[in-house]
Amino acid sequence: MNELLDMGGYAIFVWSSYGIFFFSLVIFFLINILNLRKYEKMYNNTIKKID
Amino acid sequence: MYIKINNNHIELIKSANPYLIFATIFVFIIGLYYSLFQSPPDYIQGDSMRIMYIHVPSAWFALMTYSILAGSCVLWFITRNPLFNVVARSIAQVGMVFTLMSLITGSIWGKPTWGVWWVWDARLTSMLILFFLYIAYIFLWQAISNKELASKISAALAIIGFINIPIIKFSVDWWNTLHQPASISKLSAPSIDISMLIPLFIMTIACFLFLVTVSLIRFRLVLIENKMLRTSN
């Protein structure tokens, strides 16, 4: 386990790369899915008002 | 040729969404297992080479997404079908994220390998230009209030910017760069071992699934934005 965490002395480089990569992808995904929900709600409200 | 998106298409995209999310997570987990546990360390670079499994797919999809973006803009100019404009706007941000990830992970990989975080060589500089092209495309469209004009200007920029793609691809052959030449080419056998090719292949599929999943979410988002713009006008 320690060997895996140490990454042959490159732990800071490997884990920070993977951390930044996956953190960014998850945040980007969440921003878009939340924006979609928000816009769907706004659009449905606008349509209701027009009707 | 005039393709129109109707409610059935939207419903189909909506219903595919949970499966795509599940598939993306599943393939990423397998990819991580192979990248971090199964793949052996490189005999020169050691374990720092594992950064390749996220850096290379990011760079590939940064280029591929820009090619689709520029292609959609060309088709939009020819046909004036708004669908191509929607496709371009849907994928631009995903491409920008992959370009940023390629730059960041490349920089982190560069430190233990080259001894520096950044050098202004042809490959790195042209990738940075690609990132700015994505930003310019996204912000131009948002900044111009006349959306017809915004579409024309941003599409023109995307098409002109496509000249940067072959520059990125061949920069390592045309100039003397710190960045290594391509290890995987269509014309010759890959110069990396199969034990490293497998995780790279799995992570590439995972990144592709992520690209498709988020692009389809953004596709729906951009369609609603367009509808709201039409309603407010």
Q: Where are the domains of chain B?
A: 29-37+49-178+198-229
Contacts of A19 in chain B (CB under 8 A): none
pLDDT above 60 for B186:
no
pLDDT at B8: 79
Give chain B's mean pLDDT: 90
pLDDT above 70 for B190:
no
Q: What is the mean pLDDT of residues B129-145?
A: 94
Helix, strand, coil percentages in chain B from 3-state DSSP, rounded to 5: 80, 0, 20
User: Which residue of A29, A32, A47 is in closest CB contact with B221?
Assistant: A32
Residue B13: partners with Cβ closer than 8 Å, 6 or more residues away: B216, B219, B220
Q: E strands, B190-229, where?
A: none
The 3-state DSSP class for residue B5 equals coil
**More confident site: A1 or A33:** A33
Q: What is the pTM of this model?
A: 0.91
Contact A13 B112 (CB under 8 A): yes
Domain with A30, as residue range(s), is 25-51
Output the six-digit token pair for A10.
């490159």
Distance CA B173, CA B124 (A): 14
Contacts of B101 in chain A (CB under 8 A): 20-21, 24-25
Complex-level ipTM: 0.91
Residue with tokens 């480089």: A13
Residue with tokens 């995307």: B158
- Give Cα separations from B175 to B56, B125, B141, B170, B206 (angstroms): 20, 12, 34, 8, 32
Q: Assess if residue A29 is contained within a domain.
A: yes
Listing DSSP states for B89-146 in one string gives HHHHHHHHHHHHHHHHHHHHHHHHHHS-S----HHHHHHHHHHHHHHHHHHHHHH-SS
DSSP bridge pairs for B42 = B46
Closest approach of A25 to chain B, Cα-based (Å): 8
Q: Assess if residue A40 is contained within a domain.
A: yes
**More confident site: B41 or B216:** B216
pLDDT at B173: 80
Q: For A45, which residue in chain B has the nearest alpha carbon?
A: B228
Output the six-digit token pair for B88.
């371009």
Distance CA B98, CA A25 (A): 9
- Is the CB of A44 inside 8 Å of chain B's CB atoms? no
Give the mutation candidate from B33, B38, B54 for the A interface (greatest A CB count, under 10 A): B54
Contact B36 A4 (CB under 8 A): yes
Q: Assess if residue A19 is contained within a domain.
A: no
pLDDT above 70 for B1:
no
- Is the CB of A25 inside 8 Å of chain B's CB atoms? yes
The answer to whether B17 and B217 have CB atoms below 8 angstroms apart is yes
**More confident site: B179 or B98:** B98
User: Which residue of B41, B105, B111 is in closest CB contact with A21?
Assistant: B105
The 3-state DSSP class for residue B42 equals strand
Number of domains in chain A: 1
